[in-house]
């Protein structure tokens, strides 16, 4: 049994869209503005609750906010991609995001779970987000219990950093 060219293209398109979701996480966690903007078309929109407007302006708004946090990490989970036609798709991506936030003498942990609901468009051979809606499903906030310089954690010297100092960019 042979696989049709149409089916192969569907697999390629879905992988390209998945890669886009992963790249978004890298862009926000590393505070890499160019990577973050690369997932959106220039005329795209993003409704994140705290911001609703042009997606590139959202990126410009988001990076300074995240830069004030010592660490963030966005984990994507279930990714359901529905190809509407050869140039349009919808996706629902589950996300859990950890934020390590300085607070006077200590730090707070903010963990949030939600979903990205995306309308995607393919222009030429490239998929990007045309509209994103962020839906928050749950959150948890507490004083941090993170340890950075004691025991095993003190021995782990390679740590995540913001763009361009993160080890990813120096390899």
Band of pLDDT at residue 154, cut at 50, 70 and 90: confident
Calculate what percentage of the chain has a pLDDT beyond 90: 87
Judging by DSSP bridges, how do beta strands 88-103 and 71-85 pair with one another? antiparallel
Q: What is the pLDDT of residue 3?
A: 75
Q: What is the CATH number of the domain that holds 146?
A: 3.10.450.50
Counting the structural domains of the chain, the total is: 1
Tokens of 156: 């782990």
Host domain of residue 137? 5-170
Q: Which residues neighbour 122 within 8 Å (Cβ) at sequence distance 6 or greater?
A: 13, 86, 87, 88, 89
pLDDT: is 155 or 2 the higher one?
155
Q: Distance between CA atoms of 71 and 161, rounded to whole angstroms?
A: 8
Average pLDDT in the 1-20 region?
Answer: 92
pLDDT: is 152 or 72 the higher one?
72
Least confident of 1-15, 52-66, 75-89, 114-128: 1-15
Torsion angles phi and psi, residue 2, rounded to 5: -100, 150
Mean pLDDT score of the chain, rounded to an integer?
95
pLDDT: is 104 or 77 the higher one?
77
Residue with tokens 């950075």: 148
The pTM of this model reads 0.92
Average pLDDT in the 56-81 region?
Answer: 96
Q: What is the pLDDT of residue 149?
A: 86
The 8-class DSSP code of residue 70 comes to S
């Amino acid at each position: 049994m042979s696989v049709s060219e149409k089916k192969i293209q569907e697999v390629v398109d879905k992988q390209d869209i998945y890669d886009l979701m992963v790249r978004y996480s890298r862009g926000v966690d590393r505070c890499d503005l160019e990577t973050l903007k690369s997932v959106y078309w220039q005329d795209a929109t993003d409704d994140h609750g705290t911001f609703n407007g042009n997606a590139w302006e959202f990126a410009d708004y988001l990076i300074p906010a995240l830069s004030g946090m010592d660490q963030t990490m966005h984990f994507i989970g279930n990714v359901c991609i529905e190809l509407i036609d050869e140039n349009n798709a919808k996706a629902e991506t589950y996300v859990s995001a950890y934020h390590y936030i300085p607070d006077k003498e200590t730090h707070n942990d903010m963990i949030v779970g939600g979903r990205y609901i995306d309308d995607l468009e393919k222009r030429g051979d490239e998929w990007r987000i045309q509209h994103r809606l962020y839906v928050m499903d749950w959150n948890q906030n507490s004083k941090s219990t993170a340890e950075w310089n004691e025991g095993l954690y003190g021995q782990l010297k390679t740590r995540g950093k913001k763009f361009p100092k993160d080890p990813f960019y120096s390899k």
